[in-house]
Chains A and B, each alone.
Chain A
């Protein structure tokens, strides 16, 4: 009797990993999915926070794909361990603060650990050679296999025919002839295969990681520069996704809610930050990140007034509450829009 082999698949929720799973399941292998939460995943956080989007909650695509494929999915919080990948990537960053090669190596390494703990036989990913500029190149794909520790237990079913034989192929756990040799950035072969399998899939939504986003990366770089070291907490990277960020002085920045949902979300952080709110007019909740003096408070209050409905009023009454302190009121003149330097906007 032959043993039914077991593979763990890195499942992002996108088309490629979904197809990789399907290709291997079709060969009679038992597959379970694994999905890592790094804190930078684009999983509808902005959607969840913003009031206008809350009526159409976004699904988690990895769960949705797992359900379609009828496989188990294990979602694992690696946000703490992932810091070392973001802060000091051995292979450097891509166009923004995206450490794609280190990231893929990290995830395959975690999947390899999971595979060993759970007595699975090999790992599969949806990688396609030449599809991504850092992590999915002919010269970097072997680096991932080697540095992750997975070695020849890592199989990429969609481009396996362009890569050396892996253990699963050598041992005939899978038939190499039924794997693929996809290459390049075209999605047409994958879309054709999805049609063949009758699979519905999520349309690409501009990447799956905030670190590939220029604006987000700029805010993260600013955070590191302001605090004088490359470190972060989960709350820091969540707050970078929310509100308008302005840094009027090197030692503090403002996080300004842009609408009701963002204000509600920022409410949860009130006790950790000095915060401002306009009283005489409707306006945003503003958090101050940094150490501030009285002049800074005046400036922050004028900025808060600028983003309130009192922006054209002569004076706006602003409530200021320091961390652990008592609330006080200030009357300020809203800052004129054309006097706010563009360089303050992050």
Chain B
């Protein structure tokens, strides 16, 4: 298992989802991906993308406009 950070700040949806999708495709089951964003649209879109692809949201944090979503990658990529 490895830990990865993706900086998708200042990107507008769907770019944060695309970047998350593309990075997740390079990861293995059990890896953790922390995605840093600023577009509040990710609060809907990244969880929806995770549900479609069977990934698990471990944590969502919001602080002063910054959003950090932590995802555990499943093995079905």
Q: Which residue numbers of A lie inside 8 Å of B, CB to CB?
A: 35, 37, 41, 43-45, 47-49, 54, 57-60, 62-64, 66-67, 71-77, 238, 264, 268
Contacts and interface: CB of A to CB of B under 8 A. Distances in A.
Q: Which 5 A-B pairs have the closest CB atoms?
A: A57-B40, A59-B44, A63-B48, A48-B39, A60-B45
A49 B17 CA distance: 17
Nearest to A59: B44
Given A37-B14, A43-B14, A48-B12, A63 B52 contact: yes
Contacts of A67: 48, 51-52
A77 B12 CA distance: 13
A60 B41 contact: yes
B45 A77 contact: no
Contacts, number: 72
A238 B12 contact: yes
Contacts of B44: 57-60, 63-64
A64 B40 contact: no
Interface of B: 10, 12-15, 17-18, 21, 39-45, 48-49, 51-53, 65
B13 A44 contact: yes
Nearest to A44: B41
Contacts of B41: 43-44, 47-48, 57-60
A63 B45 contact: yes
Contacts of B13: 43-45, 48, 58, 60
A60 B48 contact: yes
Contacts of A76: 18
Contact of B15 (A37, A54, A71): A37
B13 to A, nearest CB: 6
B49 A63 contact: yes
Max chain B C-beta neighbours (<10 A), residue from A47, A49, A75: A75
Given A57-B40, A59-B48, A67-B48, A75 B12 contact: no
A282 B67 CA distance: 28
Given A57-B44, A59-B44, A66 B52 contact: yes
Contact of A64 (B15, B39, B48, B65): B48
27 contacts: A37-B15, A43-B41, A44-B13, A44-B41, A45-B13, A47-B41, A48-B39, A49-B12, A54-B40, A57-B39, A57-B40, A57-B41, A58-B13, A60-B14, A63-B14, A63-B45, A63-B48, A63-B49, A64-B44, A66-B52, A72-B52, A73-B49, A73-B52, A74-B21, A238-B12, A264-B65, A268-B10
B55 to A, nearest CB: 12
Given A49-B12, A59-B48, 11 more contacts: A43-B13, A57-B39, A58-B41, A59-B45, A60-B17, A60-B48, A63-B52, A66-B52, A67-B51, A73-B49, A264-B65
Contacts of B45: 59-60, 63
B18 A37 contact: yes
